[in-house]
Structure 1
Amino acid sequence: MTFELYSSALVNNRFKDEYGNLSKEGNTICGIPQRSFPLNWKGIPEGTESFAIVFIDYDNSEGFPFVHWLACNIPGNVTSLEENASREADFFIQGMNSWSIPYGPYENIPEDLTLHFGGPAPSSEHEYEIVIYALDRVLNLEKGFHYNELRKAMRGHILSKATLIGLYG
């Protein structure tokens, strides 16, 4: 069976407005969207001990990929994350997102907002990518880890990965 990732937040290859800056539900703090996507996966490879999730905007207008969410050590027997798990669940570790980079109107973002899902807030349409990695071990990382640390920790331990790509804005 193929390892696959799904989300009800993605409809016709577009992320629903409520998960980003177009939300009319007040899901932002300091202009940063806070409600993480519901995610479901199946076809888990044998030997999976944990999962890691990376949510990135490769169309960032500043010219570099923008990391919106990093999560790891999701137990290998888990097959989904509920909507807003970034804020409400406590059974996995989250890394530092790119909202921590001071620029433009986002100069003094509270640290708490950089250690959770920080959703899409583009001024024009962007393409976003969510990747889930099935890993053969639990990673030796601590809260606030960086993307480069995650990549190095996963090296040689990725059993499979699944990707969702969608537009927002």
Structure 2
Amino acid sequence: MLQNLPDVVAGALRAQRAGTDQLACTLVERPGELSAIELSSPAFADDAALPTEYTADGAGRSPPLQWRGVPAGTVSLVLIVEDADAPTPQPLVHAIAVDLPVHDGGLDEGALGGANDPVTDGVTTGRNSYLQTRWLPPDPPPGDGKHRYHFQLFALAAGAKFSSKPVHDEVLDALRHYAIASGRLIGTYERAEGA
């Protein structure tokens, strides 16, 4: 994917960044109104490098996730994974999962699918930025610096409804109206120049 960009195109894109102000958590969170969910992964620490196996340079599976602190009144959970450092006007959406079970728990490795893996039964995925209903493995351009992948989990109150394969704007609209709690975990990944 992006690792195959011609050098002149990759160079022109280095100055472009989507930015954190366009992330779902920034657009949805209302200071003091959303409670916190603890989101973590047994595969990587917050703000640490994603293991290669979860990227386009490895098997491309989605990483395992765990969460705690889902508040009372939650009727569904939504996960959105976005790249704030994508060389695009908006963050690149790597995964959307809606209607996740409303209890402390998590997702197993590969649950969101991947390059060669199906989505786990019972997980409803929305469309990523490439319009696929699966995990889009991190694939930053070589020499583009460290990209931050924001795993964002939201607890929703009653009333949110989603189509069978929701897109980012549909999910964002539901989050603006029904989100009651959120959590975030950041994994990073970068490729060296010429990689």
Mark the CA change 1:139 to 1:117 in structure 2 (over 3 Å): closer, same or farther. Answer: farther
TM-score of the superposition, structure 2-length normalised?
A: 0.69
Q: Output the aligned Cα RMSD.
A: 1.9
Which residue in the other structure is 2:165 paired with? 144
Aligned partner of 1:115 in structure 2 is: 133
- Which structure 1 residue ranges, 4+ long, deviate > 3 Å from structure 2? none
Q: Quote how far apart the aligned CAs of 1:78 are.
A: 5.2
**Which of residues 134, 155, 158 in structure 2 aligns to 1:134?**
155
Tell me the residue number matched to 1:14: 49
Question: Cα deviations across residues 121-142 of structure 1 (Å, max 9, x unaligned)?
Answer: 1123211111000112373212
Q: How many residues align?
A: 147
Q: Cα gap change, 1:45/1:53 in structure 2, threshold over 3 Å: closer, same or farther? A: same
Q: Which stretch shifts more, 59-68 or 145-154?
A: 59-68
Letter matched to residue 63 of structure 2: F
Query: What's the secondary structure of 1:18's corresponding residue?
Result: helix
| Partner of residue 160, structure 1 | 181
Structure-2 residue corresponding to 1:50: 76
User: Normalising by the residue count of structure 1, what TM-score does the alignment of the two structures yield?
Assistant: 0.79
Instruction: Summarize deviations over 1:84-141 as a string: whole Å, max 9, x none.
Output: 11134222321111123xxxxxxxxxxxxx1111110112321111100011237321
> Counterpart of 2:181 in 1: which secondary structure?
strand
Q: Which runs of 5+ in 1 are unaligned?
A: 28-32, 101-113
Structure 2 Cα separation of the partners of residues 59 and 84 of structure 1: 24
Structure in which a larger fraction of residues adopt strand: 1
Q: Distance in 2 between matches of 1:163 and 1:72?
A: 16
Amino acid at match of 1:155: R
In structure 2, C-alpha distance between the alignment counterparts of 1:94 and 1:2, rounded to whole Å: 23
Amino acid at match of 1:115: T
Gaps of 5+ in 2: 1-34, 114-118, 191-195
